[in-house]
Structure 1
Amino acid sequence: MTQMEEFTDQCPYCGEMISMLIDTSAGDQHYIEDCTVCCRPIQVRVTVELDGSWHAQLSHENEV
């Protein structure tokens, strides 16, 4: 079953607040999503813990 959670943070490029839906039922994830304001590619990293808690981090596309 898909569990979508809303996540809001600043775009690492333009600094504007953006919101996105995170599928926390999919476990740990790493993908690229474009900023809805400046359209630049943002690296999204999602970590889901065993207890169901999760954390998302946004960074520049080429950051390691």
Structure 2
Amino acid sequence: MLPSVEVQCPYCGEPIDLVVDDSAGDQRYIEDCQVCCRPIVVAVSLDEDGQPHVAVYAEDEA
């Protein structure tokens, strides 16, 4: 089962749930906000224990 994390959209500020595929290791991709539909850059990194850490950015901040 893929982990789900709640993040805040950098544009509209609404909380959104993202399903994170942590099997691919560190990654960056773009996902549209479920509320305002603007493109969010999602950065996933894994710590030493394999736990995912997710950061989100507006497209022009990344």
Matches within 5 A, 1:1-64: 3-64=1-62
Shift of 1:49: 2.1
Shift of 1:30: 0.2
Q: Distance in 1 between matches of 2:60 and 2:2?
A: 26
User: Once superposed, what is the RMSD of the aligned Cα atoms?
Assistant: 1.1
**Greater share of residues in strand:** 1
Q: Distance in 1 between matches of 2:55 and 2:41?
A: 8
TM normalised by structure 2 equals: 0.92
Percent pairwise identity: 52
* Gapped regions of structure 2 (runs ≥ 5): none
Q: Distance in 2 between matches of 1:38 and 1:21?
A: 18
> How many residue pairs were aligned?
62
Amino acid in structure 2 at the alignment position of 1:17:
P
SS at 1:18 equivalent: strand
TM normalised by structure 1 equals: 0.89
Amino acid in structure 1 at the alignment position of 2:35:
V
